[in-house]
Every structure is written in C-alpha cells, then in structure tokens.
Amino acid sequence: MKEYDQISEMIKHENELINHRLAWLGTFQGLLFAALAFAWNNADGSFLLCILCLLGIFISISVGLSTIGANTAINYLEQEWDKIKPSDYKGIDIVGMRNRQCCLWRFMPGYFIPWIFVGAWILLFGYLVLKVAIYWIYKNQ
C-alpha cells in the first residue's frame, strides 16, 4: 500500500531526527559539564560558569522544542494514517505504540531528556548567582 509506505517512511525520518538531536544534546551536555568541572574551583571563573550554564539552558531548550516539533509531526502522521487507511485494513499499525497510549508518554526520552537538562542548568545557574551574591555581600561589609 503506497500511502502506508509513504507515511511509515515519514515517521521513520522524524524518529531519526529525534535520535540525532538527542545525540547532539548528549554530546553538547557532556562537553559543557566537562568545561564546568574544569572551571568550577577557579575563583575568577564565575562569569565563565554562568556563560556555560546559559549555553546549556539554550541548547537544551532548542533541542527540546525541536523534539516537540518532531513528535507533533509523528502524531499528525498517525492521525493522517487513521483517516486514509482502508476500513477493511487488518495489517499492523503504522507505529508499534502510539505516543499517547502510555499514561507516562511525557517521560519518554524524546520529550523528557532535554527538559531535564534545562532544569539541571537552571539549578546550577541559580546556585552560582546565589554564591556570587553572597560573596559580594560579605566582601562589601
């Protein structure tokens, strides 16, 4: 069936995009956390640490939004398949498991991982800002 093959390939493509984006995210996060570890105990590194945190936040948000877009496209393609599949069709579904069939679908890696990194970087950034603020308060007393 031509439509089945076409939609299946489009879903496969979107899944590959999600996979690539999560791989890029993991690479970026690893490099940023390594840089953070090297700069952590440097007394003059507060500015660099803040830049690394902001970079981590923005990269994570970018990947998070792009994976939401890809997942939205997959959901749309699933709905299109439901509209056009023949009423007497008895074959396998277009995907193994629909995203929203599981009650915890938002915790799937393609949705959740980027936002975990956003949260981690925000906590680190908040800690650094608080640390610098306390330092300046005690220094200026």
- What is the tens place of the pLDDT at every residue in 15-71? 999 999 999 999 999 999 999 998 888 767 788 899 999 999 999 999 999 999 998
pLDDT at 114: 95
Residue 6 has pLDDT above 80, yes or no: yes
pTM confidence score: 0.84
Quickly list DSSP for the chain: -HHHHHHHHHHHHHHHHHHHHHHHHHHHHHHHHHHHHHHTT-TT-HHHHHHHHHHHHHHHHHHHHHHHHHHHHHHHHHHHHHHHS-TT--S--SSSS-GGGSTTGGGSHHHHHHHHHHHHHHHHHHHHHHHHHHHHHHHT-
